[in-house]
Structure 1
Amino acid sequence: MKRTRNIAIFIPHLGCPFRCCFCQQQRISDTLHYPSPAQVKDHIETALSTIPAGTDVEVAFFGGTFTSIPEKMQNDYLECARPYLEKGKVKGIRLSTRPDAIDGERLKELKRRGVTTIELGVQSLDTEVLRLSERGYEPDQVVKACQMIHYAGIRLGIQLMVGLPGDNFRKDLDTTRQVIQLHPDMVRIYPTLVIKGTELEQAFQEGRYQPLTLEEAVDITAAMYMRFRRAHIPVIRMGLHPGEELQRTDTVVAGPFHPAFGELVLQKVALEQARFLIKAYLPTADNHQALILFCPPRELSQLVGPQRSNILALQKEFGLNELAVKSDESLPSGSIGAGNHQGMTAVLTREQYLQSID
């Protein structure tokens, strides 16, 4: 499989007609200025010099509502990537925008100028959550935008958030089911953080908003991740990139920030899969007290969990005196095996497990 890489260019809040209650884009993107076309070209050149040959590269404009900035500015930015597209050094252009900021004619022009992927900041498909978050659009506008992007022959990405005002586990799963019906090519999931200087910070300080705990955010995101993966929709990121600004002590006022949030989610998925396997395996096991779990070498840390938390939880739940974990290179990615010191006698693939969830 070919490696892929984005050359990220952040244009914080540029073009966005709304200021959502959670948004402080300069702090989130770690960017305090708008790049000039010359700076964009320099950034592309520098990034390309560090990317290995054979990598699929996209120039990615993130952080603002790209299609709402003046058309000349859009074209100037896109023009920066044109020479690299023509030479084959860059495969395409990716940009982020809002569902209510695109139309058919502009999509045709974007495609002509090399745009291959559009990521929509959808956040939720629940009407109340969108209203309380001050997003400024309705779910039907999201559906229409996704249909137009598909029709234009551009790859569709959808960005979602968990823990927004008025949100809950059921609404997040409802949004997940609806997003699956929109057939995106990829999804990102972010936990809502209370960022300094936002309306959400004021609501938090006044007791009108309570952020998710880290455990709650991981649980919800894991449930969404599993359903997207069952639908064969890649989840390309979970959690915000831990840039320097986000890791400053005064930036995140409250909320489930963790620099390795996505890894925590994958550890939660591995725990649930192992739990399902053990429940099925134990009744047939010769020795319930000497169970061994097997997994691919690269996924050992996911199965074990931080500070062996997954193993300790499984031991306690199933009353196991001993629960060892071994790596096995013969197992495909996402698979977990069970057995004893004589070898592995049962295997549960990720695909098999995902078919079991409600």
Structure 2
Amino acid sequence: MGLDDFVTTFGQYCRQQFGQRLQKLTLDARFTCPNRDGTLGRGGCTFCNVASFSHEHGTDLSIAAQLEAGKQKMRAKASRFLAYFQAYTSTYEEYAELKRKYDEALQSEQVVGLCVGTRPDCVPDRVLDLLAQYQQNGSEVWLELGLQTAHDATLKRINRGHDFAAYQDAVCRARSRGLKVCTHLILGLPGEGLIEHQQTLEAVLNAGVDGLKLHPLHIVAGSTMAKAWEAGRLQPPTLEEYVTSAAQLIRHTPKEIVFHRVTAYASRPVLLAPDWCAQRWIGLVALVNELAAKGGQGSGLINLNQ
């Protein structure tokens, strides 16, 4: 058995819509973030690796060159691709420059759409209109919003620089234009456990969502959280804790919602903790086993607080 047996995966969604797998090609378009350029702050979110904010750690390749390199690497896995603007805040730039970069990605052969990762407080109407226009012209478009949690106290604690109301507003404006929204959630943030995770899911479902990405909190070198972890003031979730929460959220998610990701891993030496996040398949296998034992997507109770 695999994950496809228990959730609606992004791979399943692509096969239903396109008759084949689509491979996301990750891009670094040299965007910045209001939480690091001084608009909101300079330290970034507490879970971020501050060193990675420097463009010396990025790439000088053009969008087209990055896509071509990605296609060559993934050509054995897929023949059609999505340009994934992942690094930093991919709607946070002058409109003309944003449009230039998006246009360049869509001009690349075999690229059939965009996945645009950003913050809920950085999606002006003009940019949403542009993304909606691409979609109306036949491109596959996903707006990926990094929410992490629906709890304002936690958002403040991790220095996100926005509240849940900003997320609700962004989702309302995006979905009113027909755009698909994928929401990113971190399980295991300081002060949060299963109850808080369930409450976040309920709030996200009530706001309206088309896709979800789940991943465990992991401590990376250079982050503010790394200092707290080194001082013994912070512990990331154990594998058992993460699997319990992720499986519970999956069971309480309607089957029409697409899971783009259900766990994550990082490489040493950037990863400090937890150890299990250094292995790509450990979290996924444990989660599939839990779902096999207790039920998959859409099998949970409506009342998330039970």
Note the C-alpha offset of 1:25: 6.9
Q: Is the 8 A contact 1:104 1:152 kept in 2?
A: no
Residue 103 of structure 1 is aligned with which of 124, 127, 134?
Answer: 124
SS in 2 for 1:135: coil
Q: What amino acid is the match of 1:9? A: L
Q: What amino acid is the match of 1:251? A: V
SS in 1 for 2:91: helix
1:210: which partner in 2? 235
Indicate yes or no: 2:273 matched with 1:251.
Answer: no
Residue 91 of structure 2 is aligned with which of 60, 67, 72?
Answer: 67
Indicate yes or no: 2:5 matched with 1:15.
Answer: no
2:262: which partner in 1? 238
Q: Which has the higher contact order (CA 8 A, sep 6+)?
A: 2
Q: Is the 8 A contact 1:180 1:231 kept in 2?
A: no
2:5: which partner in 1? none
Distance 1:48 1:135, change over 3 A: same
SS in 2 for 1:204: helix
Offset from partner CA, 1:316-340 (integer Å, 9 cap, x none): xxxxxxxxxxxxxxxxxx7xxxxxx
Note the C-alpha offset of 1:247: 2.1
Indicate yes or no: 2:59 matched with 1:42.
Answer: no
> Does 140-149 or 44-53 show the bigger shift?
44-53
Q: Is the 8 A contact 1:186 1:234 kept in 2?
A: yes
2:285: which partner in 1? 263
Indicate yes or no: 2:167 matched with 1:142.
Answer: yes
Note the C-alpha offset of 1:112: 3.1
Offset from partner CA, 1:144-169 (integer Å, 9 cap, x none): 00011101222111000011122121
1:200: which partner in 2? 225
Q: Is the 8 A contact 2:50 2:223 kept in 1?
A: no
Offset from partner CA, 1:264-323 (integer Å, 9 cap, x none): 2111111224xxxxxxxxxxxxxxxxxxxxxxxxxxxxxxxxxxxxxxxxxxxxxxxxxx
Distance 1:90 1:219, change over 3 A: same
Q: Percent identity?
A: 21
Q: When the two structures are aligned, how many residues end up with a matched partner?
A: 268
> Does 74-83 or 142-151 show the bigger shift?
74-83
Note the C-alpha offset of 1:82: 3.2
Counterparts of 1:160-175 in structure 2, within 5 Å, are 160-175=185-200
Name the CA distance, whole Å, in 1 between partners of 2:280 and 2:29.
Answer: 22
Q: What amino acid is the match of 1:211? A: P
Q: What amino acid is the match of 2:293? A: L
2:210: which partner in 1? 185
Residue 126 of structure 1 is aligned with which of 145, 151, 156?
Answer: 151
Q: Is the 8 A contact 2:263 2:284 kept in 1?
A: yes
Question: Could you say which structure has the larger radius of gyration?
Answer: 1
Q: Is the 8 A contact 1:96 1:121 kept in 2?
A: yes
Indicate yes or no: 2:111 matched with 1:57.
Answer: no
Name the CA distance, whole Å, in 1 between partners of 2:235 and 2:293.
Answer: 27
SS in 1 for 2:57: coil
Distance 1:264 1:27, change over 3 A: farther
- Give the structure-2-normalised TM-score: 0.78
2:23: which partner in 1? 5
Q: CA RMSD in A?
A: 2.7
Q: What amino acid is the match of 2:144? A: E
Q: Is the 8 A contact 1:196 1:251 kept in 2?
A: yes
Q: Is the 8 A contact 1:126 1:139 kept in 2?
A: yes
Counterparts of 1:328-339 in structure 2, within 5 Å, are none
Note the C-alpha offset of 1:110: 3.1
Unpaired segments of 5 or more residues in structure 1?
Answer: 274-333, 335-349
Name the CA distance, whole Å, in 1 between partners of 2:50 and 2:294.
Answer: 35
Q: What amino acid is the match of 1:109? A: L
Name the CA distance, whole Å, in 1 between partners of 2:94 and 2:88.
Answer: 12
Q: What amino acid is the match of 1:105? A: R
Name the CA distance, whole Å, in 2 between partners of 1:143 and 1:116.
Answer: 19
Offset from partner CA, 1:185-210 (integer Å, 9 cap, x none): 11000101111111001111223222
> Does 160-169 or 250-259 show the bigger shift?
250-259
- Give the structure-1-normalised TM-score: 0.67
SS in 2 for 1:156: strand
2:142: which partner in 1? 117
Q: What amino acid is the match of 1:253? A: L
Q: What amino acid is the match of 1:111? A: A
